Amino acid sequence: MKLVTAIIKPFKLDEVKEALEAYGIAGMTVSESSGYGRQRGHSEVYRGAEYTVDFVPKVRIEVIVEDMDAAAVVDVIVKTAQTGRIGDGKVWVMPVEDVVRVRTGEHGPTAL
Amino acid sequence: MSSLLAFAAAEPPPTLDSGNTAWMLTSAALVLFMTIPGLALFYGGLNRSKGVLNMMMMSFGPFGLIGVIYVLWGYSMSFGSKDIGGIIASPLEFWGLKGMLPGEPGATVLQDGGIPTLIFVGFQFTFAAITVALISGALSDRVKFSTWMVFSALWVTLAYFPLAHMVWGGGLLSGSADGIAAKLFGLTDGAATIAPIDFAGGTVVHINAGMAGLVLALIVGRRKGFGKVPMRPHNVTLVMLGSGILWFGWYGFNAGSALAANDSAALAWVNTTVATCAAMLGWLVVEKLREGHATSVGAASGIVAGLVAITPACGNVTPLGAIGVGVIAGAAAAMAVGLKYRLGFDDSLDVVGVHLVAGFWGTISLGIFARGTGLAYGDWRQLVVQLIIALVALVFTAVVTTVIALALKATMGWRISEDDEVAGIDQAEHAESAYDFGGRGAGRVSPLGQHEPDARHHHEIDSEVHA
């Protein structure tokens, strides 16, 4: 199994979720996060003072999939989340040793 | 407001006017609403999240304290008839509001407008309370709550009550025969020919609070990291909400200062509205030209600047004059708020930039726009009188505030420890945090009576247990 983690622009979340559901992914974990890459932050102005905000709000999506689906899932996320502008985010894939469904105690792909 | 002092000369017992009384009961409650929660929300939102509760408590705390003080000696010192040198009145004459309760002899009903003296007391208390709360914006995130409370009691007694007496209580800065204005340009019918105008508190409230804020910012010193670490407003929606509540409550402040439900109150109402609208536009235009964006915090700040500036003038200018007062106030305050970075004093939430600048301008603006007597009407004497009362108020407050602040610095001390300041004053001074984002780190309950004296250490023990 593989863990696919994607950091995307927050307003793209719904589109990505729908695209993943359409592909057949049954569940995911989403959290608010913030950070920066090559785009650095942005600046805000309050009462004439300019503040550089380094950490830009992002959404982090985590999905565990079977090995054969990983490349396709990455592809779906990248295609859907892409705007072509700076700050679109990152997606990465990591191996997962085991998964357990807490309710039943099932292990492995059946727990997905 | 100065005209009400004529009540001392009352011959026939004045009758109570229920319409005026109803309006004053309402106005007093409106002004209360300005501080609690209006100003507390406005300042709280502008502050960083780790100090929002302390910021709000710096409005709530003194409010309670001054309510008690006002009944004991505040009213007597401000509006009592036993004048001491034109600066203050005896604190004992109306101690505990004796003699003014229903059925008692004495000034139960004020002659002008026929309102009970008691509601005038209530109305004036809310002014004293908001003035102290306004100062707190200069001191976010770094001041011991106990020192702030002691300062509030001392300052309201030694700076606010005297100035209220001088301007509204028939003292040096009023139009009375012994006042400065009468000495300058002579008397007509026993009062100054060119009387100083401060309809609702440009000198007493805003110059007073603004100057005190400046002095305290200098004496207390900067927040750690000021000018280097970003200290942006943590909740702009609270700022917008607070400014709206301030605006709403300000009708009690300004239109209520007519002390009657009459045409003067109506003029004050319209002038307050149009000046505030113009000030918001003035601020936004400056921002748009300077930074390229009209901001929400700018709109909220422009509103407050306009309200401040029109406060002394709202009963004595035309609506056209009020537009002039407002637009200049908004633009001037927008330009003034950046000064603290250049001059290096940490007036955290711009008490100086907004209240001192707009309050000073509003007081001076009467010299130009006052109906009949301003420069726009061909007379220069009002301008001289307004300049003098503004400057006297400025110097008086600066001196008194400096003395109190230095005395407290030498005794109780102003600052919380550097560690506490970095960790957040809400935790250090109040053992609370404003926002709980769900269970994580919530720790465990320790019933009252069993908890250890220092809540912060307790919290650390908790996290160790859970780890």
- Nearest C-alpha of chain A: how many angstroms from B207? 21
pLDDT at A77: 97
With a cut of 70, say whether residue B466 has pLDDT above it.
Answer: no
If one compares A88 and A54, the residue with the highest pLDDT of the two is A88
Give the separation between CA B4 and CA B311, rounded to whole angstroms. Answer: 18
Give the separation between CA A65 and CA A49, rounded to whole angstroms. Answer: 47
**Helices and strands (H and E) in chain B: how many:** 20, 4
For chain B, how are helix, strand and coil distributed in percent, rounded to 5?
65, 5, 30
Name which of B259, B240, B201, B248 is nearest B25 in CA terms.
B259
pLDDT at B108: 65
Residues of A in contact with B293 (CB under 8 A): 45
Quick one: tokens of B157? Answer: 């007694």
Instruction: Specify the DSSP class assigned to residue A29.
Output: E
- What does DSSP say about strands A2-8 and B187-188: parallel, antiparallel, or unpaired? unpaired
Quick one: tokens of B107? Answer: 């000034």
With a cut of 80, say whether residue B8 has pLDDT above it.
Answer: no
pLDDT at B461: 44
Question: Where in chain A are the domains?
Answer: 2-111
Which fold, A2-111?
Alpha-Beta Plaits (3.30.70)
Q: Does A51 touch chain B (CB under 8 A)?
A: yes
Say whether A44 and B287 touch across the interface (CB within 8 A).
no
pLDDT at B105: 67
Residues of A in contact with B298 (CB under 8 A): 47
In one-letter notation, the amino acid at residue B99 is G
Question: Mind listing the pLDDT tens digit for each residue in B278-335?
Answer: 999 999 999 999 999 999 999 999 999 999 999 999 999 999 999 999 999 999 999 9
pLDDT at B361: 97
In one-letter notation, the amino acid at residue B249 is G
Residues of B in contact with A48 (CB under 8 A): 287, 290-291, 334-335, 337-338
Question: Mind listing the pLDDT tens digit for each residue in A1-23?
Answer: 999 999 999 999 999 999 999 99
Q: Does B334 touch chain A (CB under 8 A)?
A: yes
Question: Mind listing the pLDDT tens digit for each residue in B350-360?
Answer: 999 999 999 99
CB atoms within 10 A of CB B405: 21
DSSP H or E segment with residue A58: strand A56-65
Question: Where in chain B are the domains?
Answer: 2-172+180-410
With a cut of 80, say whether residue B454 has pLDDT above it.
Answer: no
DSSP H or E segment with residue A31: strand A29-35
Give the separation between CA B77 and CA B82, rounded to whole angstroms. Answer: 9
Which of B48, B140, B295 is best to mutate for the A interface (most A CBs within 10 A)?
A: B295
**Domain spanning B2-172+180-410, CATH architecture:** Orthogonal Bundle (1.10)
Lowest mean pLDDT among A72-81, A82-91, B455-464: B455-464
pLDDT at A53: 83
Instruction: Specify the DSSP class assigned to residue B355.
Output: I
Question: Mind listing the pLDDT tens digit for each residue in B190-203?
Answer: 899 999 999 999 99
pLDDT at A48: 82
If one compares A56 and B31, the residue with the highest pLDDT of the two is B31
pLDDT at B445: 73
Distance of CA B404 to the CA centre of its chain: 18
Say whether B338 and A50 touch across the interface (CB within 8 A).
no
pLDDT at B7: 46
Q: Which segments within B309-391 are labelled E, that is strand?
A: none
Phi and psi at B68, nearest 5°, equal -70, -45
Name which of B90, B86, B156 is nearest B124 in CA terms.
B156
Residues 6+ apart with CB under 8 A from B423: B50, B456
pLDDT-based confidence at residue A54 (cuts at 50, 70, 90)? confident
Q: Is B59 exposed, middle or buried (0-12, 13-18, 19+ CB in 10 A)?
A: buried
pTM of the model: 0.87
pLDDT at B11: 52
Predicted ipTM of the assembly: 0.73
How far, CA to CA in Å, does A106 sit from each of A14, A34, A64? 30, 34, 15
Residues of A in contact with B337 (CB under 8 A): 47-48
A-chain residue closest to B286, CA distance? A48
